[in-house]
Structure 1
Amino acid sequence: MKMITFLLVGLIVHVIFFVSIFDIYFTSPLVHGMTPQTTPLAPPASRLVLVVADGLRADSLFTPLPDGSSRAPYLRNVMEERGTWGVSHTHVPTESRPGHVALIAGFYEDVSAVAKGWKENPVEFDSVFNESRHTWCWGSPDILPMFAKGASGDHVYTHTYPAAEEDFASTDASRLDSWVFTQVKSFFQSAKSNSSLRASLLEDQNILFLHLLGIDTNGHAHRPMSKEYLNNIGLVDTGVADLVSMVEDFFDHDGKTAYVFTSDHGMTNWGSHGAGHPSETLTPLVAWGAGVKNAQKVTAAQPYNDGFLQDWKLEHLQRVDVNQADIAPLMASLIGVPFPVNSVGVLPLLYLNNSDQFKAESIYTNAIQVLEQYKMKMAQKKETTLSCLFTPYQLLTESKQAEFFHKARILIQLEKYDDFISLCRSLISNALEGLVYYHTYDRFFLGCSVVLGFVGWTSYVVLVILKTHASLDRHPSLLNQNHSHTLARLCICVTVVITVFLLIQRSPVTYYIYCLLPVPVWYSVLKEYRTLTDLVRSAPSLPLWKCLGYLVLVAFGIELLVVSFFHRAMLTVGLAVLSLWPFLSGLFGKAKFRSVSWCLGCLCLAAFPLMPVVGREPNIHLVTCAGVLSLFTSACYLWSALQKAPLHLTDRQQFITQMLHVAVCAYVPSLTHSSLQQKQGLPLLNQIISWTTLASSMLVPLLSSTRIFHRLLSIFLSLTATYLLLSTGSEALFPPVLSWLMFVWINIEQEAMLAQGLSTIDFSANIDITKIRQLKLDDIRRSYFFVFFIITAFFGTGNIASINSFDPASVYCFLTVFNPFIMGGLMMWKVIIPFIIVMCTFETIQVATQLSSRSLFLIVLVISDLMALHFFFLVQDYGSWLDIGTSISHYVIVMSMTIFLMLLSVVTHILTSQRLILWRKRKTHFP
């Protein structure tokens, strides 16, 4: 009962630590209640056409063909004759949703907003579509609905195709773009006969939005260098040319239409996106039409040293780069609608073809719009902070704002527009920095509270281990009743003071949890101070040098694991060191063959962290080889088991059936990818086999015997079959190599403890409580090995980039129609499979060495908490968005691992010790 209570309390504490990171770093940056700002002068355009070619890389559009021609001749002509072009720099994550929000709403969504909803808004935000008079949209059902829902009124009209059309296995996804162009053509044809629709189109401040998903889908399915991807660019170029001709004809060539062509994100050479590679973050931007400057010839060197201009043969044309969020104010300025109130974009004036006064008024409107956000953010923070504790942002105090408006009036009266524009840019820069300042105002306070709770919890777990397992001299507690009451009263006073402070500041409910949690935690620590005094008294009798050596080695090991999150190659170093363990510990003399197997297993596993996690080309032959290796390993295990004890007929039949199943699953990926390459789609039989294998992967092992060897082999075969279906290359070899090393680890630990043979141990048999021993220093090493192998299981074939930027080909055996949640779930299951293998191994070692699972798990908890605390200090709120996101992701992964291991240990216990009996045999008597 105490164990269950401890686990529940530990789970709650870690969930609080986990959730705290979202309140500290992942809160929405949006504020509401600002007044929309509009440029007072007449806009140059009455309408705007926005074309977003999803997944289009800048170099794919700009780079000419070997013969000097362009695969997008119309857009190339626009860039050279009558438009302005440049590169739009996106932020990470380079995904469709945050990219379109930045384009159309002008701000960058935080990661939590992306995770909360794919098609709908987790928070309401303003956009150019919302500020327009009418917006007509055509394209993907994954993108358009979120802008329609976020709009006030019913003036945003969406036309989408069925989600089933987004099929990676289709012969050519360019039909998605053809659908959009066909629908737009039908729309204008119907407008000629529909007087109401025609009247709406003839009004000003209208937007036409075309979302073209074909390039992105073809890139995922066939890679960006494929003819499908490159030919799709030509189709889009032709479609844009026809679109412009159609729009100009409808509006009688009135010269009042502005056009913007861009992309939400790029794509890597291996057909993925989500991370921060230049091929993903550099997207094209071409603007032309009403209010847009014509192409500018340049003779001097341009201020871009990225080396692309020469490859694109565009060094003679002025290049104007922007941040992706800058496109929203550009579109608003062109058609004269209010700037989106949540926009953090800066109007790129070099795109505008208008008077200096118009440019000055537009950038002034931009500055006031950003300043409104700053003032609202400051007012909200000032309202919830004690006046004596409030520290305003010094670069933009009220006096500094008044000084800005005074200078602005003078400069605009003197018509010094260049100085005026420079002043406005300075204000925008300071206001954006001020927004970040107030958005992170409580970060230090909350961080201190979480760290205090973290240190207290870790100290308490250490005390529990010492109190329960250390052989200390037991003395009657000197903590008298009065002292105990004093400690309790002190904690109550601290709780009241914190609560009153938070009430005065009208803090959110979660703040109370983060700030009050350290109180009971430290109360529990202070109550156990006698354990520490006992440890001090017993110190002379302890093997201090051995203890110190273990602590130094564990500290070094924890640092190695922390560094491995940034450099996976450190896992290779760690595995190389671990390979020497049997030789350094003296186990080689007891078990030579197992020691050599351990060394070879570590060195083989050490190769995987050196392999690329993204960018590798699919190699289905390696998947087949992995299947053969798994069958060979299983056959060796079976032969080894038969030498010790015969198998029951039912177990023998199940193992043979599972091995045949693994052979089928090793062949299915090859058959599937061959079918997709031949444009024949995903075979139905392959899909049925894949989903059936996935559904049964956790049930089939429950049918086998609960003897350690039998159950572990059944689990390995079942999980390997699923992993093969989710693999595209060398990562398929990871589970058999990991399983080999885990099996050797079990045998070595059993040899070191002189435990009974594995063939005689049964998972389902209760461990004799009288035989459960106390913890030893060697158990710290076992716990560290477990944490090390868990990290290796996670990073052995992947890292943060591989999760952000996974290869869709990994799930082609299951589905090819785009579905982010099912695809994400399948990829997560692929990540979990090596976890389960390591967890089952740890469960086996606990059983084989007659050690309570609670004992080892407490040590694991301390090691993982120390890692999490380390990553909490490494979280940064400066540098690139990718650096910030990666540092936070590391903390989330370690915290998730701690919580996940608590839950997965229960699942693993069921998987290893429970048996599912579908039928019972009748007794038959033979004469």
Structure 2
Amino acid sequence: MNMITFFIVGLLVHVVFFISIFDIYFTSPLVHGMSPQRVPLPSPAKRLVLFVADGLRADSIFKFDPSDPIRVPFIRSVITESGSWGVSHTRVPTESRPGHVALIAGFYEDVSAVAKGWKENPVEFDSVFNESRYTWCWGSPDILPMFAKGASGDHVYTHTYPSAMEDFASKDASKLDTWVFDQVKDFLRSAKENKTLMSHLHEDKIVFFLHLLGIDTNGHAHRPMSKEYLENIELVDNGVAEIVSVFEEFFENDGRTAYVFTADHGMTNWGSHGASHPSETLTPLVAWGAGIQRAQRTFTFQNYDDDYIRDWGLETYRRMDVNQADIAPLMSSLIGVPIPLNSVGVLPLDYLNNSQHFKAESMYANAIQILEQFKVKMTQKKETTLSFLFTPYQPLTDSQMFEFMSHTRSLIQKGHFDEAIHECEVLIHRAMEGLSYYHTYDRFFLGCSVVLGFIGWTSYVLLVILKTHASLRKPPTSKDATAGRHLGLLFLFVGLLVCLFLFLQASSYTYYIYCLLPVPVWYSVLKEFRILIEFARSVPSLPLSRCFGYFVLLTFGIELLVVSFFYRAMLTLGLVALALWPVVSGLYRKTKSRSLRWVLSCLCLSVFPLLPVVGREPNTNYVICAGALTMLTSLIYILLCRQPGLHSRDRWLFICQMLQVALCTYVLSSTHSSLQLKQGLPLFNQLISWTTLVSSFMVPLLSSTRLFHRLLSILLSLSSVYLLLSTGCEALFPPVLSWLMFVWIHMEQEAVDTQGMSNRNELSRIDFSENIDLSRIRQLSLDDIRRSYFFVFFIIIAFFGTGNIASINSFDPASVYCFLTVFNPFIMGGLLMWKVLIPFIIVMCTFESVQVSTRLSSRSLFLIVLVISDLMALHFFFLVKNYGSWLDIGTSISHYVIVMSMTIFLMLLSLMTHFLTSNKLQIWQKVKVHFK
């Protein structure tokens, strides 16, 4: 198999392994075909007004200081006089779309939603809006359209402001909320002159949805403790009070309007959300009006896990917490519409002010609605599983479901409402467990198939390494050919059996891929079984003690990298250990100055994993220092460099790139200063930022292809972009990392010199664009295992050095303010990903240099890297959790996804870095010819 074929096959195999995690853990929980469940009693409210204050923390609105004026007098009066209150507990990720789906549709959106972003529905789902007779919505163009598109029919009307208004650099982001309040008042005013609209508004089962984005925008721009954020909360409180007054006047105080005030998610002190900090997951819930229990005094101590309640001054008022998905059944019950078909929320009865009969009927409808999902899920699984292999969920069989339903209905008819409610709660609990059981029914089967393929692929790569570099290749005999044919027929038969089994089960086409992949992989492994026998025979001639030492060190090294995903500080320990390499290997005796630089650079880089990844306030001083450090090191190189190949043209290019670094440093500082003064993003700064981003791909191609010249040009281009995307001390990471990478190249050259494989002055003459002399490519040695491990370690450092999963979830929009301030999730996400990739590219270019300087084929080193990364991925596959908190589950899956993405991405990134280092634009020559 040649290199290109192997690359394509390896890429496809890892794509399959990567996608498998989504079929095993990320499949959509939604099912269709259920019947809506209605309560056969009149509803307490004709209409519902839903206020969602985007990004509002529970403590920000509930906190009370007796020495200061009450920040939210209206909401406070509702809690103490006329309504019910509590905390709505959200789930990770704490983002706007999942939060609104949980609130209005009653289920926690699966990961497939990420693929289509914030505005499209990856799958159609039911919602309170869809079940209503009419719904009118006002607010953000990023949230409202998805509920209108998901509705059956044309009864959900949306009114959105232009997306350009969602500007983080706006002088007053509260205008987003003012716009909503004004639009609602204008709408009701115009309805008085429109008989048709007036008629619709006075019907029952009506919903009004006010999405208030100003608090979230001000929180991102100024932080939740800022004057702007707190004043926006006051504005929302005044606006809600005014809207309630307008509605009551419009409907002539008929007492048939219910109000719900809540938030989709909270926000951290540093102005981000997406992770699981209590400030992000604890949101307020206040309800009042028709059908809502009035304020209840309590004199018993209420024990909650959060510490905020001590500062709220609400200890004497009964607090009723809910899960965010529970709000959808509450709203449905208030206006008498069926609970959304896919809802997994449980009706919070304590919020209802109604008869026990109504509560029992509502809970019964809630239980049957969830049971309907369970029955559809069970039927689907039964249809795709052979009868003798199907194992039903024992706590909820067909007979038990029938008994539950008939017994509960009998209790309601007899007036035993409390018992009926208890039976419904038991049924809901079992149905939810059953939904999870059938949703994960094939997880073990698929997991075993993927693990089998994983082990087979890793074994095959090891065999390729042995076959290529261990001199074990021998010409096949006729006996080998016969055995190969028999083996091929055997595996063909196995493949046909697998296909027949999956066909009889009516399995998805992806199941065929996961289950059939191990067949050709293991055929390829067993076909080379003779290589293993030859290797086993040659073991006595190997330096066993040294091999064992490398095996032990590599095992510990891989375990350290795995643990570092959970504890970043382990990378600091690893860098300290790496700093001792010259001493352990004996290189210190040969080159003390470079060894000292290696130790210092490792120790400097080891500081970064100890720094916090979230919660850092923007500090442009660090960015200025990073820009100055980058220019200083580059200037020293240009002034002191006496290496061949550095022409005046290259010197001028480096000087221009240094000036670009200085300009980007100024742009970053100027932009943040302008935003603090609320003067917006200067157009000049924005043009420079985008120009720098685009030119960063092209400028390095103008420089000399000599090793250090090209690496320096790449570093300057990437550093310019990284500075524009930085807000604090992370800006220092690329120059420190680059320092270590440059030293690594020199150290590897010294290591090769020690083995007598290279000339001392060869490093300065290496040109990336020259064709590699295949006659000089050497065989693999045990030391190449260390080089490959160093590369994997530095790749992990490149990712976890300045961030982790929480830092990506809690993405701070301030890092893209030089490029744009208007909310655009795709562009902002793309810029964030490019910032994450820049350290990767620096490490990849260095590894390319190490491969060239040590005269080793890129394929050989990459095969070892592939084995190490696959062993890590297999680790994380076994560490994936489907129990515990949502954060634990999500984090464990994210670790596997990151390692698999890294493996796939390194394959693609290696092509990019090869192009970046080896190619050159011949603009100068073209211009010269033109003038001639």
TM-score with structure 1 setting the length? 0.98
Q: How does 1:284-683 map to 2 (within 5 A)?
A: 284-472=284-472, 474=474, 477=477, 479-642=479-642, 644-645=643-644, 647-683=646-682
Partners of 1:570 and 1:225 in 2: CA distance: 33
Partners of 1:280 and 1:214 in 2: CA distance: 17
Partners of 1:47 and 1:413 in 2: CA distance: 29
Partners of 2:748 and 2:552 in 1: CA distance: 22
Does the 8 A contact of 1:28 with 1:113 survive in 2?
A: no
The residue type equivalent to 1:63 in the other structure is K
Partners of 1:796 and 1:605 in 2: CA distance: 8
Matched, 1:143 2:150: no
Residue in structure 2 matching 1:876, options 881, 899, 915:
881
Partners of 1:145 and 1:473 in 2: CA distance: 63
Does the 8 A contact of 1:97 with 1:114 survive in 2?
A: no
Does the 8 A contact of 1:31 with 1:342 survive in 2?
A: yes
The residue type equivalent to 2:655 in the other structure is I
Residue 486 (structure 1) shift: 1.4
Residue 766 (structure 1) shift: 1.2
Partners of 1:862 and 1:523 in 2: CA distance: 19
The residue type equivalent to 2:23 in the other structure is D
Cα RMSD between the aligned structures?
Answer: 1.3
Residue 474 (structure 1) shift: 4.6
Matched, 1:887 2:892: yes
The residue type equivalent to 2:656 in the other structure is T
The equivalent of 1:726 in structure 2 is: 725
After superposition, the C-alpha distances for 1:490-509 in whole angstroms (9 at most, x for unaligned) are 11111111101111111111
Does the 8 A contact of 1:63 with 1:70 survive in 2?
A: no
The equivalent of 2:160 in structure 1 is: 160
The residue type equivalent to 1:286 in the other structure is V
Residue 636 (structure 1) shift: 2.3
Does the 8 A contact of 1:266 with 1:282 survive in 2?
A: yes
Residue in structure 1 matching 2:917, options 912, 918, 922:
912
Cα distance change, pair 423–68 in 1 and its aligned pair in 2 (3 A): farther
Residue in structure 2 matching 1:803, options 802, 808, 812:
808
- More displaced 10-residue stretch of structure 1: 344-353 or 757-766: 757-766
Residue 64 (structure 1) shift: 1.6
Partners of 1:645 and 1:13 in 2: CA distance: 44
Cα distance change, pair 248–907 in 1 and its aligned pair in 2 (3 A): same
Matched, 1:793 2:798: yes
What SS is found at the alignment partner of 2:261? Answer: strand
Consecutive unaligned residues of structure 2, counting only runs of 5 or more, are none
Q: How does 1:79-94 map to 2 (within 5 A)?
A: 79-94=79-94
Partners of 1:493 and 1:640 in 2: CA distance: 68
Partners of 2:304 and 2:851 in 1: CA distance: 61
Cα distance change, pair 667–174 in 1 and its aligned pair in 2 (3 A): same
Residue 681 (structure 1) shift: 0.3
Does the 8 A contact of 1:55 with 1:215 survive in 2?
A: yes
Residue 483 (structure 1) shift: 1.9
Partners of 1:22 and 1:409 in 2: CA distance: 40
The equivalent of 1:861 in structure 2 is: 866
Does the 8 A contact of 1:811 with 1:826 survive in 2?
A: yes
Partners of 2:831 and 2:403 in 1: CA distance: 57
What SS is found at the alignment partner of 2:192? Answer: helix
Residue in structure 1 matching 2:849, options 844, 856, 860:
844
The equivalent of 2:686 in structure 1 is: 687
Residue 117 (structure 1) shift: 3.0
After superposition, the C-alpha distances for 1:818-841 in whole angstroms (9 at most, x for unaligned) are 000000000000000000000000
Residue 282 (structure 1) shift: 0.2
The equivalent of 1:772 in structure 2 is: 777
The equivalent of 2:35 in structure 1 is: 35
Partners of 2:430 and 2:518 in 1: CA distance: 37
- More displaced 10-residue stretch of structure 1: 884-893 or 403-412: 403-412
The equivalent of 2:240 in structure 1 is: 240
Does the 8 A contact of 2:644 with 2:765 survive in 1?
A: no
After superposition, the C-alpha distances for 1:458-480 in whole angstroms (9 at most, x for unaligned) are 00000000010013485865843
Partners of 1:244 and 1:923 in 2: CA distance: 75
Q: How does 1:727-766 map to 2 (within 5 A)?
A: 727-754=726-753, 755-756=758-759, 757=761, 758-766=763-771
Partners of 2:696 and 2:502 in 1: CA distance: 50
What is the percent sequence identity of the aligned residues?
Answer: 72
The residue type equivalent to 1:663 in the other structure is A
Q: How does 1:35-74 map to 2 (within 5 A)?
A: 35-65=35-65, 67-74=67-74
Partners of 1:657 and 1:410 in 2: CA distance: 84
Cα distance change, pair 394–164 in 1 and its aligned pair in 2 (3 A): same
Does the 8 A contact of 1:98 with 1:114 survive in 2?
A: no
Partners of 2:633 and 2:927 in 1: CA distance: 35
- More displaced 10-residue stretch of structure 1: 880-889 or 340-349: 880-889
Cα distance change, pair 181–489 in 1 and its aligned pair in 2 (3 A): same
Partners of 1:747 and 1:114 in 2: CA distance: 43
Cα distance change, pair 608–249 in 1 and its aligned pair in 2 (3 A): same
Does the 8 A contact of 1:65 with 1:71 survive in 2?
A: no
Partners of 1:85 and 1:68 in 2: CA distance: 22
What SS is found at the alignment partner of 1:136? Answer: strand
Partners of 1:196 and 1:210 in 2: CA distance: 22
Does the 8 A contact of 2:845 with 2:917 survive in 1?
A: yes
Cα distance change, pair 320–922 in 1 and its aligned pair in 2 (3 A): closer
Residue 146 (structure 1) shift: 0.2
After superposition, the C-alpha distances for 1:781-805 in whole angstroms (9 at most, x for unaligned) are 0000000000000110000000111
The equivalent of 2:699 in structure 1 is: 700
Partners of 2:907 and 2:271 in 1: CA distance: 36
Does the 8 A contact of 2:105 with 2:328 survive in 1?
A: yes
What SS is found at the alignment partner of 2:209? Answer: strand
Partners of 1:473 and 1:344 in 2: CA distance: 60
Residue 258 (structure 1) shift: 0.2
After superposition, the C-alpha distances for 1:329-350 in whole angstroms (9 at most, x for unaligned) are 0000000001100000000000
The equivalent of 1:219 in structure 2 is: 219
Partners of 1:432 and 1:833 in 2: CA distance: 44
Partners of 1:168 and 1:473 in 2: CA distance: 64
Residue 415 (structure 1) shift: 2.1
Residue 93 (structure 1) shift: 0.3
The residue type equivalent to 2:736 in the other structure is V
Residue 304 (structure 1) shift: 2.3
Consecutive unaligned residues of structure 1, counting only runs of 5 or more, are none
Cα distance change, pair 588–133 in 1 and its aligned pair in 2 (3 A): same
Residue 356 (structure 1) shift: 0.7
Partners of 1:479 and 1:344 in 2: CA distance: 63
After superposition, the C-alpha distances for 1:684-719 in whole angstroms (9 at most, x for unaligned) are 111011000000101100000000011011011111
After superposition, the C-alpha distances for 1:206-248 in whole angstroms (9 at most, x for unaligned) are 0000000000000000000011100000000010001000000
Partners of 2:148 and 2:928 in 1: CA distance: 69
Partners of 2:502 and 2:688 in 1: CA distance: 57
Does the 8 A contact of 1:97 with 1:143 survive in 2?
A: yes
Partners of 2:608 and 2:135 in 1: CA distance: 51
Residue 645 (structure 1) shift: 4.1
